[in-house]
Amino acid sequence: MAANSELAGDIEGEYGGNRVQPFATPKQEQRLMDEEKRQNPSTWKKILGFEDIFSVKVWRASMAELLGTAVLVFALDTIVISSIQTDTKTPNLVMSTLVAIIITILLIATFPISGGHINPLVSFAAALTGITSFTRAAIYILAQCVGGIFGALALEAVVTKKIAHNFSLGGCTLNVVVPGPDGPVEIGLGTRQALWLEIICSFVFLFASVWMAFDSRQAKALGRVTVCIVIGTVLGLLVFVSTTVTAQKGYAGAGLNPARCLGPALVRGGHLWDRHWVFWAGPAIACVAFALYTKLIPSQNLHTIK
């Protein structure tokens, strides 16, 4: 008996003090399997996150995305129109500076509620890198697109028809039609060049700024406000670069936010739909490239917010 007691004690000590059960009934095995599944959901289940569809918290957070994107579109498109209309010598510089400021303010306002995406580019990248589920990202993108439409409608309600027509509601354009000596002439940027600009600028945006928000080490070290300022500044610089490097009239610069491009296109229509797909394809390709880049980083150097 003493030997048996010592053996039992050894077994308990080896497994952390839990007595080993030599046999388990089928019901007990099933119960243990169910408990393990609840504690460790499958990878696909976590990636897809279908339960977010029924999460009140997610839908409430999406309202912040909707309102944030609506304000963003209204403010940015107003900035685009006013920067060009005032005939300043450096409209690109004025526009990019104001863009950086408004982006920073809106990120600070929405970050505590929804994470401060206000951009399908950020939401899709977050899903591909495992920061959020694809279902949550889809809900956010839907809210952002609706917000973009509301923002464009609000802008159309406060500007004159002439301004809305002349400046295309400040929307994303690759080309415009202007009067020429021999009739209307189309000026702007080619599809290939515009697509490459969209891909490169979107990737730089994710790599140089958004990744700070995804990385828990940098986010904690720098602080929320600093991260938002960096993101706003990088986005403003990219707006300046994309509009300056081409120097093409008719090209409004890299969109860097498909929801912002969608709003004016749906409300105003016309040439805003011309090659509109570029403003979606470019960011999507950049997100995939960025996700592949993150997979190349050694796991011990990758500390993301889960």
Q: Which range marks the domain in which residue 86 is found? A: 50-171+190-296
pLDDT of residue 10: 43
Total domains in the chain come to 1
Return the structure tokens found at 103: 């982006």
CB burial string 218-242: b at 16+ within 10 A, e below: bbeebeeeebbbbbbbbbbbbbbbb
**pLDDT above 90 covers what percent of the chain?**
51
Reported as a single tens digit per residue, the pLDDT across 94-137 is 899 999 999 999 999 999 999 999 999 999 999 999 889 999 99
- For residue 59, being part of any structural domain is answered with yes
pLDDT digit string, tens, across residues 160-176: 988 888 888 888 988 87
Give bridge partners of residue 304 from the DSSP assignment: 215
pLDDT above 70 coverage of the chain, percent: 80
Tens digit of each residue's pLDDT (9 = 90 or more) over 184-221: 667 788 899 999 999 999 999 999 888 888 777 777 88
- H or E stretch including 240? helix 224-244
Residue with the two structure tokens 């060049």: 193
| pLDDT at site 180 | 64
CATH number at residue 62: 1.20.1080.10
Give residue 296's pLDDT band: very low, low, confident or very high (50, 70, 90): confident
Q: What are the distances in angstroms from CA 240 to CA 172, 245, 260?
A: 15, 8, 17
| Residue 72 covered by a domain | yes
Task: Identify the residue with better confidence: 252 or 37.
Answer: 252
Radius of gyration of the chain from its Cα atoms, rounded to whole angstroms: 26
- pLDDT at residue 37, rounded to an integer: 55
Task: Please indicate, yes or no, if residue 8 is contained in any of the structural domains.
Answer: no
Say how far apart CA 205 and CA 237 lie, in whole Å. Answer: 10
CA distances from 8 to 21, 23, 24, 105 (A): 11, 15, 18, 64
Asked if residue 148 belongs to a domain, the reply is yes
pLDDT at 22 over 80: no
pLDDT over threshold 60, residue 9: no
